Amino acid sequence: GLATAAGLARRPPVTGAELRSAVPLPPAYTVPLPVPNILRPVAPGRYEITQRVAEIEVLPGIRTPMWTYDGTFPGPTIESRRGRPVTVTHRNELPVPTVVHLHGGRTPAASDGYPTDLVLPPGWADHHAMPDPRAVRSVGTREYTFPLDQRPALLWYHDHRMDFTAPALWRGLAGLHIVRDDAEEALGLPSGSRELPLVLTDRAFAADGTLDYPSIDATLRHRPGVRESFLGGVLGDVILVNGAPWPVHEADAARYRLRLLNASNARHYELEAVTDDGRRLPLVQVGADQGLLAAPVTHVSVPIAPAERYDVVVDFAGVPVGGRVRLLNKLGTGRTAEVMAFRIARRAADDSRVPPVLSADLPSWGPPSRVREFAFSAGQQAGGHGWVIGGRAFDPARTDVTVRLGDVEVWRLVADVHHPVHLHLAAFRVLSRGGRAPLPHDGGLKDTISLRPGEAAEIVTRFDGYRGRYLFHCHNAEHEDMGMMANLEVV
Ligand code: C2O
Ligand code: CU
């Protein structure tokens, strides 16, 4: 039967302030859904991306300058095979230093995009003081190497510069990286044009078409008055899917695999697929942040916090041609309650399936060698209110946690308000929430867990793969920039 997400909507997340756009917004379901283009390698396993300012027509007829990967928003999608290493050379032609992190990647520390491991625009250092004397720098370009020795999954790459991640994401620095393998392809899940990545973001637009963001110097951390009013994070009043406002997609009356990413700075969604006559189509979850579940789980709605991914199959076979299925957001109000629509254009053959067993390689970790607890809460940082972990704001010079390579640990995470907590390097499982069993959507391997207000949750992981300095942090991007991040040293 349908697993309900009962209780999820009971306590709405503490959200940030919503900015109001000052330009005319298009009616919903008129702009066609774009799909980010697949990046071509320059040589086998080698990619090049130029980070540059580009004018993007996000809203029809309005040109919006954005910070982009290769001139598009979202950036180009990289498609990789499990275990085949990939090198991406990023060229920084933006007016600011950048850092690239592959979210969900099992990546050696040198390529993990530490927040002070900067790629400077050429000539930048001649005119600017380094923000942190310990910062590492590359000038102009930087090569990131990803072994991708990990389960197939929808990963994403995005900027991760210290104190500036939120404004950089907001301006457009995010793209997808899909890892595939033969076993997953052999399952027969919907594929080709019936596998759709859907990147959810929200934005607000100023009267001149530029993106609105509440800080003229582009970081909230150093703007006390402004920071206090956006403690909950920054929300926009325009919902974008793959960079288009409330788009529509012409679909076959068949199964679709929707690979959902919430790339919003601070907005939470709870998605449902609703037909014109008010029926909720089952959302059959086949995967989580870190790839396939052991077996499918059917939901009526799927909550998705910033940085989380849900891989769901929805079947349009029972929808009449000409009919519509809307993806709605139960946590929104007015126009933020609408996301996108599918217009069922034709009947079509469908040989896809959702097999009862999806994956047999989910790890089962032995008993933990350590249990730790971390409180995610409001606190003091940089002389004002901010966000802290264990009472401390992020400091790149301090090691907060040291773990041994190969150790299994249980972490108990406690939240005051809603915090989506992300761990670099190590995929984890959710063991419990509020002292009870995990929720129906907590299954599989995760790298981000949505902690609800006042909630404690336990996760278990094994620190595998690489030694070095990694991070864990809140993925509400404004919380992250306002101090809610910590260092994890794997030794
Ligand atoms: Cu998606 Cu540390 O980031
Ligand atoms: Cu947070």
Please check whether residue 7 lies inside any domain of the structure: no
Looking at ligand 1, which residue's alpha carbon is closest to its atom 1? 103
> Can you give 20-64 as a three-state secondary structure string?
CCCCCCCCCCCCECCCCCECCCCECCEEEEEEEEEEECCCCCCCE
Same domain, 200 and 329: yes
Q: pLDDT digit string (tens) for 396-412?
A: 999 999 999 999 999 99
Residue with tokens 């990289």: 78
Q: Which pair of tokens denotes residue 316?
A: 């349009």
Cβ atoms within 10 Å, residue 150:
22
Would you state the pLDDT for residue 6? Answer: 33
- For residue 362, being part of any structural domain is answered with no
Whether residues 229 and 163 fall in one domain: no
Would you give the distance in Å from CA 108 to the centre of its chain?
20
DSSP, collapsed to helix, strand or coil, labels residue 477 as helix
Mean pLDDT of 367-377: 97
Does residue 44 sit in the same domain as residue 66?
A: yes
* Residue of 314, 440, 455, 444 lying closest to 5 (CA atoms): 440
Confirm whether the ipTM is greater than 0.90: yes
335 with 208, same domain?
yes
Cβ(177) – ligand 1 distance below 6 Å: no
Q: Which two tokens stand for residue 263?
A: 């790339």
* Residue 28 pLDDT > 70: yes
Ligand nearest to the CA of 101: 1
Residue with the nearest Cα to atom 3 of ligand 1? 103
Q: What is the mean pLDDT of residues 15-22?
A: 87
Give 286-321 pLDDT, tens digit per residue: 999 999 999 999 999 999 999 999 999 999 999 999
Q: What is the pLDDT of residue 16?
A: 72
Residues 407 and 464: their CA atoms lie apart, in Å, by 8
Residue 256 and residue 278: Cα distance in Å, rounded? 20
Q: Taking a C-beta distance cutoff of 8 angstroms, is the pair 439, 400 a contact?
A: no
Mean pLDDT of 332-347: 97
Host H or E run for residue 127: helix 124-127
In the predicted structure, residue 372 carries a pLDDT above the cut 60: yes
Domain assignment of residue 206, yes or no: yes
Among the candidates 181, 202, 218, a domain finishes at 181
Residue 321 counted as domain residue: yes
The answer to whether 314 touches 253, Cβ cutoff 8 Å, is no
Q: Which of 312, 347, 382 is the last residue of a domain?
A: 347
Residues 174 and 35 in one domain: yes
Query: Backbone phi, then psi, for 108, in 5-degree steps?
Result: -55, 145
Query: Is 360 part of any domain?
Result: no
* Same structural domain, 244 and 167: no
163 lies in the same domain as 225: no
Ligand nearest to the CA of 99: 1
The Cα–Cα gap between 134 and 88 comes to 24
Residues 197 and 343 in one domain: yes
The edge-to-edge listing of strands for the beta sheet with 100-103 is 78-81, 174-180, 153-159, 100-103
Instruction: Decide which of 181, 201, 229 is a domain's last residue.
Output: 181
Q: Domain containing 415: what range?
A: 370-490
**Across all residues in the chain, what is the average pLDDT?**
94
Does residue 309 have its Cβ closer than 6 Å to ligand 1?
no
**What's the CA gap between 123 and 220, in Å, rounded?**
25
- The average pLDDT across 351-369 equals 94
Alpha-carbon distances of 75 from 35, 117, 172, rounded to whole Å:
10, 21, 8
Token pair of 446, please?
């995760």
Q: Give me the pLDDT at residue 14, please.
A: 46
Nearest to 75 by CA among 206, 209, 169: 169
DSSP state of 4: P
pLDDT range class, residue 13, cuts 50, 70, 90 = very low
Same domain, 268 and 326: yes
Rounded to 5 degrees, what are φ and ψ at 227?
-55, -45
Check whether residue 424 and residue 475 sit in a common domain: yes
Residue 471 Cβ < 6 Å to ligand 1: yes
Give per-residue pLDDT as tens, 118-168: 999 998 888 887 766 667 789 999 999 999 999 999 999 999 999 999 999
The verdict on residue 186 lying in a domain is: no
- Residue 307 CA: nearest ligand 1 atom is 1
Q: In this structure, are 209 and 173 located in the same domain? A: no
Count of domains in the chain? 3
Cα angle, residue 337 at apex, residues 477 and 8 outer, rounded to 5°? 70
171 lines ligand 1 (CB under 6 A): no
Is 6 a domain residue? no
Domain CATH code at residue 447: 2.60.40.420
Can you tell me the mean pLDDT for 28-45? 98
| pLDDT at residue 15, as a whole number | 62
Asked if 337 and 208 sit in the same domain, the reply is: yes
> Would you say residue 262 lies in a domain?
yes
Q: What is the mean pLDDT of residues 457-478?
A: 97
Ligand 2 centroid from CA 220, angstroms: 14
Say whether pLDDT at 189 is over 60.
Answer: yes
Q: Residue 133: what pLDDT? A: 65
How far apart are the C-alpha atoms of 97 and 120, rounded to whole Å? 4
Kindly report the pTM of this predicted structure: 0.95
Q: What φ, ψ does residue 239 adopt, rounded to 5°?
A: -95, 125
pLDDT at 242 over 90: yes
List the one residue out of 338, 307, 308, 306 whose CA is nearest residue 325.
338
Express as a percent the part of the chain with pLDDT over 90.
88
Which residue's entry shows tokens 């290493």? 85
